[in-house]
Structure 1
């Protein structure tokens, strides 16, 4: 007889689900509901490492052991494919990033009485959780939070909240403070002192008119495919270095021996630089700062990489352009790449490496490609946002 009070799976938003369909927050598979409504922990229930868990919105799954985290990442993708009636491909091993590996985060400030707080928002709330510990971000980023509190608290009025965006680059920590305008000589001198004391790679301020850099001893860069690429303030990066490498290995495996490759939604060139050696690569990107960084790095490296400023939602590559390439890499935003996939469906491209941060939009686009004669061969599931319900993947499509 089925135990209807046993947790049998984790739903997409992180709740445990019983055999009879009840949703239970912070429950793990193998947990059981007792008659009084409490939770009896099972073998897959882990002790959350962070004291802010259940209040901070940064994590939803710290109560799961590693094996269950991997199953959750894989199942999120399976459920998305099932919803679109897509036959299951071969699944490659799941990659989940380790603790303290996030290299790009955004935190917010708030005043609670006389206390200046800095941290993430609570789940489904604007309340700020003042972080005294964080097991997701790299130690270099977390180490900057307390000095930031000390620097900002005397200079941020109780009616103003700011957002601080942090990224780990080759030279150290890149800091961008938004919704604040520094005024007066004392404040500017304090900014220099703060940046110097904490050995920041760069300190920029955005008061609503775009980032202005106040401190940058040497140009801030990120290394992609062995190439140092100029990094715009809080430019897009894969969330973790290990996650980036897992996705890059998948893309390299899919592209294989193809010598003419297009990288669409290329960003700074994470995949373009990662595969450029021995190939001719065309890269298309709509974000101008990222495109200029990629072009400058390409020129210095002497690669056969041509980058074009192009909005692929408004002006996707058409079949006549796509058919020049033996393989195409796609890495679109969360909304997916409906317009570009429509054109790919009409093309003769032999291989497509589709990198996605949203299994639902990926499955929608996959259905279109499959209907046009492509086969979804393999999927590499990646959980870069450890303990979060956010899931990424790389999918391999081949023209049949």
Structure 2
């Protein structure tokens, strides 16, 4: 076997040679020798975290920022290419280390030890975190004392989900797959929450989240408006990533005075846009749309909140044609049913925010075939050192 350079990163993060060999933990510019060993190149860096590469929270800590940015662009370009599309792809925004404001972890009790962290890659085995280079420091700092609480709540060989989110009032903690039983467990939760100044502690034993500690209603501020945060509610992963996506949406929407925000969630885009425009916000998650409706009403924002399943009941082309712009921010499955109608709609602009390049490219193909022009795409790497990429894209009616 001859020496061969690594020329790119594959979708799952492996280094790829020109002859198609996949080499784990190799970076572009590395040299793979004939015996299979790897000589690090200019884009290969020393991973900062002791848990890499075992921990499934990160996949690409061994590549520098330049190679990581190229990888995100390549992910988007490859998805577009599969649909026969091309577009201008801007250099990605990369969220800095230790800026993640929400995370889903796993915990398990083994004897007297509490394991708490991310799962290993492609495994249910938990990596017990001694450090973390992606979580906000205040989230990571809670893990050590949280092990003490879980030692009270978890029986041996039992586990639970741990969801952490930074709210306006502090950290919001949701424990899933656990149902505290007895006065001692409730007192332990209350003491823990009060000691560490938590915004809320909720548990979900399988019948929905139940707040166990919430001295004041937990909120997040979006567009200058405090919105009630449902337990386990969705937020963009980093504040800087959210700001870049919002800036992109504002650029696309421009001066439109009537805007539809489809898959609006809590109002990440609807609330900021409502400062200068009338907004229709549509969302299928009941708790999220009720929170947005209440917040908008209290703040006097011109938002009509519609609890609507856009997969089963998409807005029609005629309904959409009344708007000056549409913001589309679907889940990973994309918005196939809604895109069919958008492709026929007679409105000037669409801002498409996506967390899945493949379903975005599928939907983009339908829009382009319907007479839309894809102006540009801006990738955003909020999930630092992972294979996950988000993006904002600008469509204009030709």
TM-score by length of 2: 0.98
Aligned residue in 1 for 2:31:
32
The alpha-carbon deviation at position 114 of structure 1 amounts to 4.1
Deviations 1:193-245 (A, max 9, x none): 10011110101111111111111121111110111111001100001110000
Please give the alpha-carbon distance, in whole angstroms, between the structure 2 residues aligned to 1:303 and 1:338.
30
Deviations 1:18-69 (A, max 9, x none): 1111000010011111232111101100110110001011100000101111
Aligned residue in 1 for 2:123:
125
Q: Secondary structure at the match of 1:129?
A: coil
Q: Would you say the 8 A contact 1:4–1:19 is kept in 2?
A: no
Please give the alpha-carbon distance, in whole angstroms, between the structure 1 residues aligned to 2:167 and 2:108.
27
Please give the alpha-carbon distance, in whole angstroms, between the structure 1 residues aligned to 2:212 and 2:111.
31
Distance change in 2, residues 1:189/1:112 (3 Å): closer
The alpha-carbon deviation at position 165 of structure 1 amounts to 0.5
The alpha-carbon deviation at position 252 of structure 1 amounts to 0.2
Aligned residue in 1 for 2:258:
260
Aligned residue in 1 for 2:12:
13
Q: How does 1:263-282 map to 2 (within 5 A)?
A: 263-282=261-280
Identify the match of residue 186 of structure 2 among 188, 202, 211: 188
Aligned residue in 1 for 2:44:
45
Aligned residue in 1 for 2:59:
60
Aligned residue in 1 for 2:81:
82
> Is the aligned partner of 1:346 residue 2:340?
no
The alpha-carbon deviation at position 91 of structure 1 amounts to 2.3
Please give the alpha-carbon distance, in whole angstroms, between the structure 2 residues aligned to 1:114 and 1:149.
11
Aligned residue in 1 for 2:68:
69
Q: Would you say the 8 A contact 2:163–2:174 is kept in 1?
A: yes
Please give the alpha-carbon distance, in whole angstroms, between the structure 1 residues aligned to 2:112 and 2:32.
42
Identify the match of residue 386 of structure 2 among 388, 393, 398: 388
Aligned residue in 1 for 2:153:
155
Aligned residue in 2 for 1:235:
233
Please give the alpha-carbon distance, in whole angstroms, between the structure 1 residues aligned to 2:264 and 2:205.
28
Q: Secondary structure at the match of 2:127?
A: strand
Please give the alpha-carbon distance, in whole angstroms, between the structure 2 residues aligned to 1:196 and 1:37.
55
Q: Secondary structure at the match of 1:270?
A: coil
Deviates more, 1:147-156 or 1:168-177: 147-156
Please give the alpha-carbon distance, in whole angstroms, between the structure 2 residues aligned to 1:10 and 1:331.
27
The alpha-carbon deviation at position 93 of structure 1 amounts to 3.0
Identify the match of residue 372 of structure 1 among 370, 373, 388: 370
Identify the match of residue 220 of structure 2 among 219, 222, 230: 222
Q: Would you say the 8 A contact 2:6–2:30 is kept in 1?
A: yes
Aligned residue in 1 for 2:170:
172
Deviations 1:316-340 (A, max 9, x none): 0001210110110000000100000
The alpha-carbon deviation at position 112 of structure 1 amounts to 4.2
TM-score by length of 1: 0.98
Aligned residue in 2 for 1:327:
325
Aligned length: 397
Please give the alpha-carbon distance, in whole angstroms, between the structure 2 residues aligned to 1:186 and 1:17.
55
Deviations 1:277-322 (A, max 9, x none): 1211101001010001101110111111111000000000001210
The alpha-carbon deviation at position 110 of structure 1 amounts to 2.1
Deviations 1:77-131 (A, max 9, x none): 0111011101x22223310100001111011112445422011111111111000
Q: RMSD of the TM alignment (CA)?
A: 1.1
Deviates more, 1:71-80 or 1:153-162: 153-162
Which segments of 5 or more consecutive residues in structure 2 lack a partner in the other structure? Answer: none
Deviations 1:159-195 (A, max 9, x none): 3210011001111100001111111212111111100
Please give the alpha-carbon distance, in whole angstroms, between the structure 1 residues aligned to 2:297 and 2:99.
31
> Is the aligned partner of 1:209 residue 2:219?
no
